[in-house]
Structure 1
Amino acid sequence: MNGRLLDAGASMLRDRGYDVTRPDSGAEPPGLATPGPDADPPFGTARETAIDPLGDADPTTVLSRLWTNRDRDRATLFVVDARQTAEAVADLLAPPLGVAAADGAGRRTFFDGPDRVPLAEGGFAAVPAGDDVEWREVGEGESFRLELRTDEETIGALDGVGELGSPPRATFPYAYERDEDKRIRVRDFRGRPVETFPGVKAMRAGGFAPVAAPLVPEHMLDGDVDGWWGVLVAEEDAVVAGPVDSPER
């Protein structure tokens, strides 16, 4: 699929006056387009553009690839199969950038990221495995607290997203760490041993789950991303380059 999507992106940009190169297999980005003197950019201004096939609109993938490319002063053309995927990417990158939801006061609900939450005392945060949790901003004014919540209660709270680097163990119900013998030791919020497991899978089966760190957009991208991305729907030869929903979603 990636090869076909890459071909579609390359063909569209060549038709618009770009010179397209495709690095060796496995290189990133898989396609790179350089605007010629008469280039007609499909979005933003004429600049070097990475061609990036996407299978879905995974927030971590989309934001990290956009960040990597923008950090190298190049735009990103995401290429997808379905308009639904294109609209999901456009919605993700519309204000408020890169979050699951935001209310009228600007308080955000975050997607889970790929990282765990490291603790000041060592190890990582954990919660009961049956809890369906999410990270959400709460409070009033310009500065919001960050809460880890189930449907009914708060089970961890920080002063804000800036405190995610190494919060204290007491912030969360449990912590886990890998001992010298490679086994996983779970402790309670006071540091008292609770249980030991041969690995993370067994830890989950035993009732404890790692806490995923929230995907905080400003920790990946700073500033405006308008004009730095577009999404090509390969089968329709159509580019989506802006929000498809209202900012409050």
Structure 2
Amino acid sequence: MVRYTAGNDHGAAVLSRAGYAVDSGDGPTLGTPQSDSTQFFRTDRPVVVESLAPEEVGAETLVPRFANALAREQNVLFVVPTESQVGAALHVLDAPYCVAAETDTRCRTFFNGPDRVPLSNGRYALAQADEYVWRELDPEESELEGRTGSDRKEVVLTGDGETVALFTDVDGLSCPSPSAFPFSYGRGHDKQFHVQDRDGREVGRFTSIQAMRTHGYEPVPMPLVPEHLFERGSLAGSWAVVAEDSFRVHTTDGTHAV
């Protein structure tokens, strides 16, 4: 897929005006902080510019690119097309960092990611719903019998408001059994998508994902769980956002004009 790069030059200009040494060679645009650079970030790591297309200003793109930058020990300056889209980016990146919401008891609602849930038999999770929500449960909401003595939070997947799947914690998503979901799907030797129920019985066969969706089956998205994605570095103070038509840089610690 061709990367959207329209904002790269503006990102380079922002970093240059803020006193960074900028390298816009063949690879990604990188800024190296100097002794007199404006402090957008809480560390002096190099800064990579990530230019986002209008349809990319959401968790599906922002969170994986942020995680990739931190894995490379870089901070990241996201450039969004317009000032009106800055709020959408901040909703993803700012506290509670990279999750959709968090309760007073620190139970999180996760963003849905771009990937589907892979199952232990090589197939993918499937259900019959239009809107999926992954969230952690407070202890009093526990849906598992005999759940005591653990600070791990159960994770529930709801589809159109109804429970679809339940796990003892987020680590249960690493390689779930096909029986954890109502249905699963996979491509057969005939190049068609075969849908099975949780007992392994085939209930449908379709020529495409779209045909499968037309019949009410929707693939289950993998939630974006921060501890599964970010291996190193603090999320706070590691990102900044600027619009292509602005020199106001938004960060964890406030807004800077350059």
Q: TM-score range by the shorter chain?
A: 0.7 to 0.9
Query: Is contact 1:93–1:243 with CA below 8 Å preserved after alignment?
Result: no
TM-score, structure 2 as length reference:
0.83
**Matched letter for residue 135 of structure 2:** R
Instruction: Return the offset for 1:39.
Output: 2.9
2:53 matches 1:55: yes
Equivalent residue for 2:142? Answer: none
Task: Give the distance between the partners of 1:214 and 1:197, measured in 2 at CA.
Answer: 26
2:231 matches 1:233: no
Equivalent residue for 2:91? Answer: 91
Matches within 5 A, 1:51-200: 51-56=49-54, 57-128=57-128, 130-140=129-139, 142-200=151-209
Task: Give the distance between the partners of 2:83 and 2:14, measured in 1 at CA.
Answer: 17
Equivalent residue for 2:25? Answer: 23
> Unaligned stretches of 5+ in structure 2?
140-149
Instruction: Return the offset for 1:151.
Output: 4.0
Instruction: Return the offset for 1:38.
Output: 3.5
Query: Is contact 2:134–2:155 with CA below 8 Å preserved after alignment?
Result: yes
Flag the 1:116–1:18 CA change in 2: closer, same or farther, 3 A: same
Flag the 1:156–1:89 CA change in 2: closer, same or farther, 3 A: same
Query: Is contact 1:90–1:243 with CA below 8 Å preserved after alignment?
Result: no
Flag the 1:161–1:12 CA change in 2: closer, same or farther, 3 A: same
> Unaligned stretches of 5+ in structure 1?
245-249
Flag the 1:43–1:104 CA change in 2: closer, same or farther, 3 A: same
Equivalent residue for 1:203? Answer: 212
Q: What stretches of structure 1 move > 6 A for 4+ residues in a row?
A: none
Percent of aligned positions that are identical: 35
TM-score, structure 1 as length reference:
0.86
Equivalent residue for 1:247? Answer: none
RMSD over equivalenced CA pairs, Å:
2.2
Task: Give the distance between the partners of 1:195 and 1:160, measured in 2 at CA.
Answer: 31
Flag the 1:40–1:132 CA change in 2: closer, same or farther, 3 A: closer
How many pairs align?
238
Flag the 1:3–1:123 CA change in 2: closer, same or farther, 3 A: closer
